[in-house]
């Protein structure tokens, strides 16, 4: 394309020079020859111009247009995958939570049994001979109520046992031992008031004292295991 433009320019330049020469020529022969040559070069330039226009190459440039490919889509940066869960740590955490909940459950049962033990200890069976019939009947009714409360404490422990983890088995056994002793003490207190003679009274009174002592000792050990060291007081 660049060569065609140079040639075309040269033809037009020669045509102009030829016409100038024809105008300045002297003599008919020279004038005719100059005009002939000028017209010839002009026709050649016009013809070459028409050829370039017909081919559409006149306004084309040699500069190649480089079409850049579309940019590749930017992939979003994926966040790093979270580390796998620590199974051992999760199990340890669950065990700790189960133990903590079990201790709370066991403390509730222990506290209820401890209240019954304190109430039962308030019965002074050795002084019943010096009280009125009305006071005697009042103590007898209280012993019946304490026996019922002791048995309820045993039922509560049975219901709570299903929720306790194996780690609290020893503490559970101590609470159960204490409640069994408490039920025995309450039973002997209730039977004391139904004794038919002094010998039976002494036997039930002695069993009552042993039961309360055993219950308090077991409750104290259980309290130390679950973090309630005053449970046997």
Give per-residue pLDDT as tens, 25-38: 667 776 676 777 66
Pair (7, 114) in one structural domain: no
**In a shared domain, residues 173 and 110:** yes
Indicate whether 93 belongs to any domain: no
Q: Is residue 154 part of a domain?
A: yes
Residue 231, pLDDT > 50, answer no
Boundaries of domain holding 205: 101-226
Cα gap 85→209, rounded to integer Å: 56
Q: Of 40, 55, 70, which residue sits at a domain end?
A: 55
Q: Which domain CATH number covers 125?
A: 1.20.120
Domain-located, residue 28: yes
Distance CA 142, CA 149 (A): 10
* pLDDT digit string, tens, across residues 61-108: 545 555 666 777 777 777 777 777 678 887 888 888 989 999 999 999
CB neighbours of residue 221 within 10 Å: 18
Look at residue 105 and tell me if it is in a domain: yes
Q: Is residue 95 part of a domain?
A: no
Same domain, 38 and 122: no
Q: Are residues 41 and 156 in the same domain?
A: no
Per the domain annotation, does 86 fall within a domain? no
Same domain membership, residue 218 and residue 109: yes
Question: Do 111 and 187 fall into the same domain?
Answer: yes
Number of structural domains (the chain) is 2
| pLDDT confidence bin for 211, thresholds 50/70/90 | very high
Same domain, yes or no, for 132 and 200?
A: yes
How does pLDDT run across 156-187, given as a tens digit for each residue?
A: 999 998 889 999 999 999 999 999 999 999 99
> What b/e string do you get for 64-98 counting C-beta neighbours within 10 Å, with b at 16 or more?
eeeeeeeeeeeeeeeeeeeeeeeeeeeeeeeeeeb
pTM above 0.75, yes or no: no
Same domain, 115 and 23: no
Q: What value does the mean pLDDT of the chain take? A: 82
Question: For residues 104 and 96, what is the distance between their CA atoms, to the nearest angstrom?
Answer: 12
Does a structural domain hold residue 66?
no
Residues 106 and 49 in one domain: no
């Amino acid at each position: 394309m660049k060569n065609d433009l140079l040639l075309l320019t040269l033809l037009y330049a020669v045509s102009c020079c030829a016409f100038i020469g024809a105008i300045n020529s002297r003599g008919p022969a020279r004038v005719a020859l100059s005009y002939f040559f000028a017209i010839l070069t002009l026709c050649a330039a016009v013809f070459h111009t028409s050829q370039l226009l017909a081919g559409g190459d006149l306004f084309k440039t040699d500069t190649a247009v480089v079409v850049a490919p579309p940019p590749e889509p930017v992939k979003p940066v994926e966040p790093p995958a979270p580390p796998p869960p620590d199974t051992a740590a999760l199990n340890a955490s669950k065990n700790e939570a189960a133990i903590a909940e079990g201790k709370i459950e066991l403390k509730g049962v222990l506290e209820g049994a401890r209240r019954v033990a304190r109430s039962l200890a308030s019965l002074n069976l050795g002084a019943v001979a010096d009280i009125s019939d009305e006071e005697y009947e009042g103590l007898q009714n209280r012993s019946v109520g304490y026996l019922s409360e002791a048995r309820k404490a045993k039922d509560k422990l049975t219901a709570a046992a299903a929720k306790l983890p194996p780690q609290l088995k020893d503490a559970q056994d101590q609470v159960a031992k204490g409640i069994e002793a408490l039920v025995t003490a309450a039973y002997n207190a209730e039977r004391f008031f139904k004794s038919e003679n002094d010998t039976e009274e002494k036997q039930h009174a002695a069993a009552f004292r042993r039961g309360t002592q055993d219950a308090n000792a077991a409750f104290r050990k259980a309290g130390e295991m679950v973090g309630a060291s005053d449970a046997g007081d």
